[in-house]
Amino acid sequence: MNKSFIEKLAVSASIMLFSISSLAWTPSPDPTPDPDPTPEPCQGDCDFTRGPDPSISYLEADNGPYTVRTADVPSSAGSFNGGTIHYPSGTTGTMGAIAVASGFLAPEGDIIWWGPRLASHGFVVITINTPTFDGEDRRATQLSEALDYVIAQSNSNGSDISGMVDATRLGAMGWSMGGGGALKLATDRALKAIIPTAPYYDQGNDFDTITASTLIIACENDSVASVDGHASEFYNDIPASTDKAMLEIAGAAHSCVTSGNANEDIMGKYGVAWMKRFMDEDARYNQFLCGPNHTSDGDISEYRENCNY
């Protein structure tokens, strides 16, 4: 076989191999994705339901179906001066996270009862201490920092709540100035639901932009944050397109929503039902929010809503 034929054969083989490799070429892989990207909220038919079918006695009980454990939050965790994480055991999957703040000059103890109450129904709850002298907008910042802390703990392998929090399902609550902070935070950050209790907010606001489902709990004889000047006004500010309700506790003063109060069974029933309905998207709880004659209960002096939800 002569040399020229061999050379031509080699060139032909090289061209064929190049052609095959060109057809088989695949593009370089995309850059490595962010190891902790911002999670996308559920857009479709979401199902976050957990727990047995609810009843009035079930919701008014001190505890839900899950045992609650706690973890201390150090004062170094944020400007909110530490607090307590309450979380359920005996359940699986990720859960919504709720931050709860107290009022002016008020300790964590005034709102701590919401921690085990909500956690026993399948939420991760952080109740926080707050600085002595600050304002409503600072409360909003503190609530937001508390939610960030809970999310970070969920993302930490060594944490008590590792892997437990769904960062797309967040809520906020608060009493008095803390309630004003929850309303303020809902104008600044995407939240699923808020429950301001006897809320106080004494400055210009953008509450007409709130999209988080909002249950306001008011105290009828509140002389600190009067219903007409605060809770009622805030309820009216929130747009009709937002799911909302206002519950007023009959004959009650500003502290009617604090720990150890006789109204815990009423507030617990509506508070748990609200968070289950709008953070867990659990329609089983509609029956407690839409339909009943709420004021047939003598402890409720007024109830407003924009059902159906």
Q: In order of start, what are the domains of the chain with their CATH numbers?
A: 53-305 (3.40.50.1820)
Q: Categorize the per-residue pLDDT at 16 as very low, low, confident or very high, splitting at 50, 70 and 90.
A: very low
- 82 pLDDT higher than 70: yes
Please report, in angstroms and rounded to a whole number, the separation of the first and last CA atoms in the chain.
87
What is the predicted pLDDT for the residue at 40? Answer: 53
CB atoms within 10 A of CB 97: 30
Q: Categorize the per-residue pLDDT at 39 as very low, low, confident or very high, splitting at 50, 70 and 90.
A: very low
What is the predicted pLDDT for the residue at 134? Answer: 84
Q: Categorize the per-residue pLDDT at 272 as very low, low, confident or very high, splitting at 50, 70 and 90.
A: very high
Query: Mean pLDDT in the chain?
Result: 88
- 9 pLDDT higher than 60: no
128 or 39, higher pLDDT? 128
301 or 17, higher pLDDT? 301
For residue 219, list its beta bridge partners.
Answer: 249
What is the predicted pLDDT for the residue at 131? Answer: 81
Task: Give, as one character, the DSSP assignment of residue 257.
Answer: G
7 or 173, higher pLDDT? 173
What is the predicted pLDDT for the residue at 135? Answer: 85
53 or 18, higher pLDDT? 53
Of 201, 217, 229, 222, give the one whose Cα is nearest residue 140. 201
The Cα-based distances of 179 to 101, 128, 133 in angstroms read 7, 13, 16
- Are 270 and 244 within 8 A, CB to CB? no
What does the pLDDT look like over 113-125, one tens digit per residue? 999 999 999 999 9
Q: Which residues have a catalytic role annotated?
A: 176, 222, 254
- 11 pLDDT higher than 90: no
What is the predicted pLDDT for the residue at 34? Answer: 40
- 24 pLDDT higher than 70: no
What is the predicted pLDDT for the residue at 3? Answer: 39
- Strands of the sheet containing 300-305, edge to edge, are 67-73, 83-89, 124-128, 95-101, 165-175, 193-197, 213-219, 244-249, 300-305
Distance between CA atoms of 246 and 80, rounded to whole angstroms?
Answer: 28
What is the predicted pLDDT for the residue at 114? Answer: 98
Q: Which amino acid is at 197?
A: T
